[in-house]
Amino acid sequence: MNEHLFDTGHFVGLEIPVGGKLSESPLRDVLKSETHDAELMLSKVETLLGKEDWRISLRDLDISWDDPVIRREIIAHCLKLGLSPQEFFYLIDVPLPKFLFGLKSINPKMIVWFEYIIQYRSLHAVYSFFAKEANTASPATLFHDPTTSHDKFDDEDLFKFLLGIYQPQPVSKSALTLAKRKSRQVDEVVKLFEFLRKDKDSHLKELAEEMLEFLLFGSETFTSVFRVWLSKYVSPMVLLRIVSPNGEHNKRIEFLWNRYVQLYVNHKGSTRRFYPLKYQDMLAFLKQKKTESK
């Protein structure tokens, strides 16, 4: 039987009553109502952004941060004003994510904030390019946050900002306690980007992998990435794809690969189900990749 003969997509919004006369379906009424509500909310947001006290009102406005149209409107408005990612974070009152249920536990506001960072960086890069070409003043005047002196908001800026956000209340000032607290903070940042790495949006996934690469190459942060990855049984192949996407190899990459493979193979609870490759097999794989890149 031809399945296309029963393509229900042709009948969405219609129903055939007993008398054989076509009439509008309740589904169509629902869709019309939802479209109308979305248009009203967008109009409300546009009106709010035109007011002088829009910053205060935005925090209290009950809107759906899952709506891409509304998100684009707010992001575009704040970019036009040159708000830094730090300002935007506090402006929309981003809550810290809870990782009890994985990616779904990340509040939509956090995703909006990352989208803002991506567009902020792109815009800064464009202004920097044209400023350099025209030999004009630095575009930092357009993107300058006087409270932090961050202009481009690069990976290090993002990491330090999140580290401060995740900082818990101090309970002891001993060196050991401070070190453990710092380690937990870094772990939370790693968890955030590890979950974000699995997002369907390619731009968010790219940002997450870029940050994980930054953390892996950090002498004080790579152990946190390893710790989080081992708890989630992340394959060494993921590490290689992140730190060497084009087949590049150097001593640092070899160190990261060798160290993580050792931990991965000998991790507590290791089974063939999670670890189908032997350590020697993985070393041989790396050598092969090195040969191919020459």
Nearest to 274 by CA among 230, 216, 209, 227: 230
Mean pLDDT of 245-266: 87
Looking up tokens 């730090």, which residue turns up?
86
Structure confidence at residue 31 as a pLDDT band (50, 70, 90): very low
63 pLDDT exceeds 70? yes
Which regions of the chain does DSSP assign to beta strands (E)?
14-15, 23-24
- Of 83-87, 222-226, 237-241, 290-294, which gets the smallest average pLDDT? 290-294
Structure confidence at residue 225 as a pLDDT band (50, 70, 90): very high
Say whether 142 sits in a helix, a strand or coil. coil
Mean pLDDT of 249-262: 89
- Of 82-86, 168-172, 226-230, 256-260, which gets the smallest average pLDDT? 168-172
Cβ atoms within 10 Å, residue 227: 14
Nearest to 241 by CA among 212, 273, 276, 283: 212
pLDDT score recorded for residue 271: 53
Rg (CA), the chain: 25
Domain extents in the chain: 30-153
> What distance in Å separates the CA atoms of residue 85 and residue 98, rounded to the nearest whole number?
21
Strand (E) or helix (H) holding 39: helix 26-49
User: What integer best gives the mean pLDDT of the chain?
Assistant: 74
Q: Residues 132-161: pLDDT tens digits?
A: 666 554 444 444 444 444 467 899 999 999
pLDDT score recorded for residue 249: 78
CB-side neighbour CA atoms (13 Å) of 251: 0
171 pLDDT exceeds 80? no
pLDDT score recorded for residue 151: 64
Write down the pTM of the prediction.
0.72
pLDDT score recorded for residue 132: 60
pLDDT score recorded for residue 2: 43
Q: What DSSP string runs through 170-236?
A: P----HHHHHHHHHHHHHHHHHHHHHHTT-S-HHHHHHHHHHHHHHHT-TTTHHHHHHHHHHTT--H
Task: Identify which of 16-25, 37-46, 144-153, 167-176 has the greatest average pLDDT.
Answer: 37-46
pLDDT score recorded for residue 264: 87
218 pLDDT exceeds 70? yes
Cβ atoms within 10 Å, residue 20: 6
Q: Residues 105-124: pLDDT tens digits?
A: 788 899 999 999 999 998 87
pLDDT score recorded for residue 204: 94
Contact between residue 120 and residue 85 where contact means Cβ atoms under 8 Å apart: yes
pLDDT score recorded for residue 120: 94
